[in-house]
Amino acid sequence: GENVEQHPSTLSVQEGDSAVIKCTYSDSASNYFPWYKQELGKRPQLIIDIRSNVGEKKDQRIAVTLNKTAKHFSLHITETQPEDSAVYFCAASISSGSARQLTFGSGTQLTVLP
């Protein structure tokens, strides 16, 4: 099955700096890559996603890049703010017929220092 590795496990940045979280996946059939943000004690929430036919996607301060050849994708947060502090999860999904497999990375605890 799919295996998703995520790095780093913890990341501290100064407010206003950029943060980058990287993930690799193993199954070249994966074609959908979402990122989730989970604040303490709350549910994971989808913040951005990218499909395999696109190399980059941006939404305000958040961007995601995908390198299908190398099988890795990254989350970039610019101008970080304290409210960006949370655990971020990457995931990879294989869609085939009615079959769906969303495999999550192990998470990155991001702390934005004021």
Q: Which residues bind another protein (CB under 8 A)?
A: 32, 34, 36, 42-46, 49, 89, 93, 95, 98-107
Nearer of residues 46 and 113 to another protein, judged by Cβ? 46
Nearer of residues 38 and 78 to another protein, judged by Cβ? 38
| First-to-final CA distance of the chain | 41
CA 91 – CA 55 distance, rounded (Å): 16
Least separation in angstroms between CB 79 and another protein: 26
Pairing of strands 56-59, 108-113: unpaired
Nearer of residues 58 and 100 to another protein, judged by Cβ? 100
Least separation in angstroms between CB 30 and another protein: 11
Least separation in angstroms between CB 58 and another protein: 18
CA 59 – CA 48 distance, rounded (Å): 8
Which uninterrupted H or E stretch holds 88?
Answer: strand 86-96
